[in-house]
Structure 1
């Protein structure tokens, strides 16, 4: 027999940004508890609103499964004395298994006669286990800081006020967070501010809908999208719905009603990003754009009430947003009165890192490094230097102090206002790209150079003062910075030596870095190891990257080209055999006391198989040489793949370690030449499977 189980924990308003994770963690915790107890069920549906966390477990078994358990005790000769009386060992075994002495039995376990107890285990009623499972799950929720309320010692993310636990239509006798379970929930705070009786677990969603609470987060989310889009269409616009804001709004309302408000058009003179930031962060409004993607003087709010006079609700929201936008306009106009150049020295009072100087020092280093890279690639070093110098000045502006997400964006607008070169202005906005994995890259060359120089300066500086990331601690986000720098170099085809760039960056730090050479090598190794995560994302096997990493190269563009070539080679039918052959050759050569000869003597090629391989190797060496020069590694490996037949025949027919010293050395020279061809791209022996 089975019935649905309902859990609803009613609270004061839960943190909206945490609601989704709290619900997922609760569902996972209850699932783990049911699985551990052996309680069967069909599915678990999760529900949440600002004032509740809920689960419905479908077709939950009434009890854990019953099973036969055999408990073996001490040997019979230990359990009973010579006169047949039970010893303390027998008494202890009987007590442990809930038996009387005269109920003890002995059986042979295949080795000796022992005390044995055959008992049934399981069969515990689900209703007796659920309170423990729920309490344990709640205790494990990811809550950074728990709170107490009233005179209770109970702790939770917010005060808990009611508890519903039903098995089918029956109330479970349980206590959770100091609350006794019942069947009474609460309706919408305004539309149905009263107790709501839940008849059965199966009726939960429908009953709460009748009380103006949409407990299904997915359904509530879809309803918000539909309403917001409808409101935007009514004003001939398109609502911009970010996933982050949508999740937060969904967690803020129980009965969503979208309404459109308006703000004064004069505010459109303020950078759109500032207006959008203010509307989204402070008021949780969705902004609206026209057919050209330009911001319209409207916003869409999602109320938690179906008002009889929506005009009043709209008016209230318009009154709230007006001073926010006025602040943004004021900050913008105030900041424009002072050029970025005139405020640059203020960066000297902001510490970047105690041992690495101020933000002003950092901009000097960024400018120098970006200009030197620009010279290397034929870009405009003057623009790169200027952008580097101005890159962080907007940190001291009123706009960024109020709206931190305007960092870089504010600099762009102020640079244009100051008459700076448009590419310099764009670089100030693009310097933080990419912000995360998969994010867009800068569109301008100068923006790319500033973004790269900034990251390299931070990485080598932090390594230089001995604060490299350890485990989960990465306070300066060096992992993200490293991946960003690699993406910039590879995807923007900045074909330079990363070791050399890090060396320049370290040199710019001066005496702040005591052992510059070590800082460069540690930084380089750390950055190149981030390639692993990159290629894993692209479904490229780790062995492929390791085959290239064995070359110990430091040009990211070249490394990437080789990895893609080796990955393509690994898909060929000849790849595994040639990888195994390379591994065999590597093992043979590694055991030699000295390196084999570089030249193969044709007169010492006695066997047809070695003659054939020598001819093939010489032919391929000529064919692939121009391919290597042009870095057409994929074409080169495809050409070398045709060596498989000759290699297989050689190892089948030829004894490499011949008794004749001259023959042996000549064959080793041939194998070294064979391996050398592949090594010009990568050590493909890394592709060979390891024997377990």
Structure 2
């Protein structure tokens, strides 16, 4: 079969930059899936996009479906003929196949012989299938918000003005979104406004680049990156390229041209984060740093035109950014006229959650828990309480109301300006760490206490009113809060009992409809999050399950056990000892053993059980101090030496002896063996 290139392009008015990538990928995936379902072989599928177009290019696309052998089964042979003559069933089946009875074949199966028909079905031409495939892909696009235009009833994210569908040099006869497919595309709105006739689908990228459009998203982004870095190099500065901003800027231009502008140095008196947020959020500018990492009074903008008068473009951007930065300076000056502490009463009017009260209520709860935690980790109790009282006060400042992403950051600046203790000011920013699983944790003890208290309050409160996460719904980000607590306790090496913290946090709430069993439920939920944490650490599921089976409530201790068990699984003795522990568990369960591990040495009869007893006692002396110091890896290494005496015991000793005293003694020996391993984890579950 012959193969050629397919091109599909939707020409639109400027799309929302944040939606371009998702729409582009979805269109390409929809076309790819449609071709697969139609059994049409194809090569690579490429997704292209710019503010004014969504396009898909499919290379080496076969010109038709493959021919297929179709086999149909009719009535059983016994029912197809009577007295040597075809029955109505046989004649009806032949008629449905478009043949006579004598043209049918016999199909042999394990259930008998049947009448059948076999024919070769010719594959359909790809061009005849493409209209439905493309239409289905367009219909499935995740358009954030549809609109109508003109008198048309057609709906899409933005008005659609042209449709290209080419298979090689052939226009595919199709229509979509009220447009007939053709070969006419358009280049840059200003540099190349005239229509462009595409002779072949392979000409797409080159033809558009000749018309001042880079349709390849990756190429366009790298062009922007290169230009921004080049501008910075000329200025002897470091350009900070935020990848999210790069994607957004790429969605705003078709032919990027980086230009450098400046702003008044007086604005540098404002915290740099404020200026950067204003430049990024409002104007989509890249900021520049000097060699010491300080913000320079410069910015790089990416224009969508290659102007003959770039100075005028730069001056226009400078005129626009000046009032934006002036606003930031005004907010900063205005906010500092009142201290954070003076704003605390305003939090009573800001609802945290209807049933859980205001941010003021949350601050009081956090203060009690943060003070307790600080006392337990060597922090300053007064600082922790003060930080909790001030933690949310910056949310009612003008700056944070304008730039919500500066919450915490502005709290630190304003607290420092107010003369608050350094640890308190730092904690106001660190309370939001970690923001994601791999993020840094707070460095200060006050920040650690506040970050933990705030998350624990949210978890107990939201669970306590019955708003547990379900499926993909987690409006209060409880999963992130739980993993945040785990990361803080583990990475911060904080020996804190999670049950105790949850009980204290739950007690701060005046009334919770689902208070009964609340701590157990939240504790189980949080420890279950260790599965994801363990996976990120490269720890296998079996190791997690073996530790989770034990009543461990200290996350740091939980993590140490996980790492120890994961290391143990790599030992050659691991499988045999896991199997032995499984066997011991089954025996003790079946015999309903009471857990007594006291062994009467005088009752030991067989050499193998005496050897095991001596080995277990010797190991106990070695590992109990290791357990006390949470040195689980070394303890498991010592327990691994029990493999040989355990194997010999099961090979040579009958546990269920007829003498009840001997039997009870052997069960106690096995219970003692199991108890040593259970000090770390239930390694019998490694068999799963």
- The question of 1:322 aligning with 2:322 is answered yes
Q: Which residue does the alignment assign to 1:604? A: 603
In 1, Cα distance between equivalents of 2:226 and 2:35:
37
Q: Which moved more, 1:20-29 or 1:124-133?
A: 20-29
Q: Which residue does the alignment assign to 2:247? A: 247
In 2, Cα distance between equivalents of 1:549 and 1:498:
14
Q: Which moved more, 1:171-180 or 1:625-634?
A: 171-180
CA gap of 1:187–1:670, structure 2 versus 1, over 3 A, is: same
Q: Which moved more, 1:535-544 or 1:307-316?
A: 535-544
Per-residue CA distance 1:572-631 (angstroms, 9 max, x = gap): 111111111101100110112341542222232222221211111111111111111111
- Give the superposition deviation at 1:145: 2.6
CA gap of 1:587–1:113, structure 2 versus 1, over 3 A, is: closer
In 2, Cα distance between equivalents of 1:428 and 1:199:
62
Matched residue SS, 1:135: helix
Q: Which residue does the alignment assign to 1:402? A: 402
Residue pairs, 1:26-175, within 5 angstroms: 26-76=27-77, 78-79=79-80, 84=85, 87=88, 89-90=89-90, 92-94=92-94, 96-97=96-97, 99-101=98-100, 104-110=103-109, 111-175=111-175
In 1, Cα distance between equivalents of 2:94 and 2:437:
63
In 2, Cα distance between equivalents of 1:371 and 1:478:
23
Matched residue SS, 1:470: coil
Q: Which residue does the alignment assign to 2:209? A: 209
In 2, Cα distance between equivalents of 1:596 and 1:9:
73
- Give the superposition deviation at 1:80: 5.9
CA RMSD of aligned residues (A): 1.6
- Give the superposition deviation at 1:659: 2.2
Per-residue CA distance 1:198-247 (angstroms, 9 max, x = gap): 11111111111111111111111111010001111122111100110001
Matched residue SS, 2:123: coil
Per-residue CA distance 1:74-98 (angstroms, 9 max, x = gap): 23554567794652x456534543x
CA gap of 1:108–1:290, structure 2 versus 1, over 3 A, is: closer
Matched residue SS, 2:199: coil
Matched residue SS, 1:656: coil
CA contact (8 A) 2:377 2:445 kept: no
Q: Which residue does the alignment assign to 2:452? A: 452
Q: Which residue does the alignment assign to 2:178? A: 178
CA contact (8 A) 1:596 1:665 kept: no
CA contact (8 A) 2:94 2:101 kept: no
Q: Which residue does the alignment assign to 1:9? A: 10
- Give the superposition deviation at 1:515: 5.0
- Give the superposition deviation at 1:109: 2.6
Q: Which residue does the alignment assign to 1:576? A: 575
Q: Which moved more, 1:220-229 or 1:592-601?
A: 592-601
Per-residue CA distance 1:54-105 (angstroms, 9 max, x = gap): 1211111111111212101123554567794652x456534543x0446752
Matched residue SS, 2:321: helix
Matched residue SS, 2:40: coil
In 2, Cα distance between equivalents of 1:565 and 1:421:
41
Per-residue CA distance 1:537-561 (angstroms, 9 max, x = gap): 1221111111111112111111111
Matched residue SS, 2:18: coil
CA gap of 1:14–1:80, structure 2 versus 1, over 3 A, is: farther
Q: Which residue does the alignment assign to 2:441? A: 441
Matched residue SS, 1:643: helix
- The question of 1:530 aligning with 2:562 is answered no
In 1, Cα distance between equivalents of 2:283 and 2:679:
60
In 1, Cα distance between equivalents of 2:541 and 2:197:
57
Aligned length: 686
Residue pairs, 1:530-609, within 5 angstroms: 530-595=529-594, 597-609=596-608
Q: Which residue does the alignment assign to 2:380? A: 380
- Give the superposition deviation at 1:151: 2.9
In 1, Cα distance between equivalents of 2:205 and 2:595:
78
CA gap of 1:108–1:406, structure 2 versus 1, over 3 A, is: closer
In 1, Cα distance between equivalents of 2:70 and 2:648:
62
CA contact (8 A) 1:76 1:106 kept: no
Residue pairs, 1:625-664, within 5 angstroms: 625-664=624-663
